[in-house]
Amino acid sequence: MSHDGRLSPALPGRAIDQAALAARFGAEATALVMEMAASADPLADAAIAALNSGQAGHPAILQAGLREGRASLSSPPEAIDALLRQAEWIPPWVDPERIRRGAEAYLSIGALWTSISLGPGSLAHTYSSPAIASVLMATGNLDAQSPRRLLETAVWQQQTLRPGGLAAGAQGYIHTLQVRILHARVRAGLLARGWDTAQRGMPISQLDMLRTWLDFTFVPFNALEKIGIEFDADEFRDLYHVWQLVAHLLGIEDRYYRRVTDQASGAEMLALIDAAAGEPDQAAATLTAKMLDAAAQRLGPALGMPADAAVGLMHAFCRLFHGDDFADKLGVQRNWWSGLMPVFANSNRYQRLLERSDPEVRQRKIAATLAAFDQQIAALKGETTYQHNLSAYSGAGMPRTLAGA
């Protein structure tokens, strides 16, 4: 950051090499990437403009609309009404039974392993993008609040990926819309500070959002399979189905997320997006190191080990999930914990066999996961950053990750 608050010219940009991308993936795929990089979320951006208009009560109107529904509002601002209308609209492809099954497939992973796949899996890949890492660092204190960031992301997942969580007015629906609104506020703040869209594309663009969505679908599903938590073809289809509804609520355009329905199509899309993202930089390495430390602090007790020992384990998981080349670029440790990865995988495969052979075992696992999620949510101190962004909306400055985890 420069002293006048504008973005420093040294801040890493996207700088997509279109010629190299076209040579590898073709002209059509390259055009798709450039289209996504130039697009944001017009409905959420218009809602933020309404919140920033100076009209008193707009944040409270939006909050009420999230909780009680668009129909409960009397003459809401047009931009807020449009956002709620889109969020409450159920796409015709949504199958409630598949949504339920997808949520149950996610819950069958178990609370411990969803947490491990989130930190060393999902977030490590998210942070590896220079464009995304620079946006996250621009909020000013994310690197110092990694434990809080990890916990808040877990809470969002836990509210969202449960039976009924995505219905209008349910907690998962509300949390997801609050995350979307936070993204729009960050985007507005970066644009006001001089973000160079010609060089970098839009901040938190459709490209960034789809990449992050893949970090919660393809990336953790692939990671979990490496530690023995496997899914069959039907489970994958149901998992992607529920996550496509999440994408709809997050403001990702259906012409992008509907291209990804399974691991094969997820791998193809992520390869394209990763090729456009560029190599990880120092901001990415810093965020990753702090996130792995935070994951160790959070998961050490559940693993029955002190945090300093758990740090090495989190690095080993990260290296297993993403491979040595990726891990080396992010400064992830090489350590002896990697030798124990087959032990975890074999244990998980045995547990999955038990669950598949006995529906009651599976249902007990799902119930235990929900109970663990409820306990973690209840232990959260205060509002999440995305909740506070709206409940105490000021319209001034960039939102900051709250302390107090």
Q: DSSP characters for 118-151?
A: IIIIIIHHHHT-HHHHHHHHHTSSTGGGHHHHHH
Residue 108 has pLDDT above 90, yes or no: yes
Residues 285-338: tens digit of each pLDDT: 989 999 999 999 989 998 899 888 999 999 999 999 999 999 999 999 999 999
DSSP string, 345-389: HHHHHHHHHHHHH-HHHHHHHHHHHHHHHHHHHHH--S--HHHHH
Closest by CA to 377, choosing from 94, 172, 158, is 158
Asked if residue 384 belongs to a domain, the reply is: yes
Confirm whether 331 is domain-assigned. yes
pLDDT of 342 higher than 50: yes
Residue 112 neighbours by CB distance under 10 Å: 13
The rounded distance, in Å, linking the Cα atoms of 79 and 85 is 10
Query: pLDDT tens across 261-271, in order?
Result: 999 999 999 99
Render pLDDT for 39-49 as a digit per residue (tens, 0 to 9): 999 999 999 99
Please give the pLDDT value at position 395: 76
Tally Cβ neighbours within 10 Å of residue 13: 18
Query: Does any domain span residue 6?
Result: no
Residue with tokens 């920033």: 52
Q: Is residue 289 part of a domain?
A: yes
What total of structural domains would you count in the chain?
Answer: 1
Express each pLDDT in 47-89 by its tens digit.
999 999 878 889 999 999 999 999 999 999 999 999 999 999 9
Decide if 369 contacts 114 (C-beta within 8 A).
Answer: yes
Residue 50 lies in a domain: no
The structure's pTM equals 0.92
174 Cβ neighbours under 8 A, 6+ residues apart:
66, 67, 159
Q: Are 246 and 166 in contact (CB under 8 A)?
A: yes
What residues make up the domain containing 257? Answer: 18-44+82-391
Cα(123)–Cα(148) distance, integer angstroms: 13
Longest dimension (CA), the chain: 63
pLDDT of residue 345: 97
Residue pLDDT, tens place only, 174-202: 999 999 999 999 999 989 988 888 888 89
Q: How far apart are CA 337 and CA 392, in angstroms?
A: 44
Q: Is 341 a domain residue?
A: yes
The answer as to whether 55 is a domain residue is no
Considering the domain boundaries, does residue 13 fall inside one? no
